[in-house]
Every structure is written in C-alpha cells, then in structure tokens.
Amino acid sequence: MNVITLDGKKIKKKSHSYLKKVFDFPDYYGKNLDALYDCLTDISVETEIHLINSEYVSLDLIDTFFDASLESDYLTFICDD
C-alpha cells in the first residue's frame, strides 16, 4: 500500500505543481480540480492519502479528494481536521 502525506501549506504555496510531483501525474495533467479527480480515480494501487494542515486548502480541494476516494476502490482519504 502506498501512503502519501500531503501538506496543505505546500499545496497553498505550489498548488497543482506540488500535487503533480507528489503523485507523479503525467505531463498532460491539467492542473485543475477536474484533472485532479480524473488522475486520482485512475490510481490502480491501494493508496492512502493523508492531508495535514488542511486549514490552508480550499474545501473544494478537500471535496475532490473525498469524492475520488468514494469513487475508487483503491483510495482512502484522511483529513487532519
């Protein structure tokens, strides 16, 4: 199982470039919430995502991770709040 810890402070500062690097998304990653959802639901290895410092990111971003985890059998999303 992959365990990925995301830092809300880094997401706020570097946004989608940080997410692209952490998840190793392909070059065609669109750097928006729809593209994030699509790439997250394409993950085919059991993956647990932990978001720390969540107060620094938008609720829309948190909802995107949560919705992707509901859609995918491979994703678990844990938010620190």
Number of domains in the chain: 1
pTM as predicted? 0.94
Nearest in space to 25 (alpha carbons), one of 12, 11, 38: 38
Tell me how far apart the alpha carbons of residues 75 and 71 are, in angstroms, rounded to a whole number: 8
CATH of the domain at 22: 3.30.370.10
Tens of pLDDT, residues 57-68 = 999 999 999 999
Note down the domain range covering 51.
2-79
State pLDDT tens for residues 13-70.
Answer: 999 999 999 999 999 999 999 999 999 999 999 999 999 999 999 999 999 999 999 9
* CA dist., res. 5 & res. 52, Å (int): 7
Rounded Cα–Cα distance for residues 2 and 70 (Å): 17
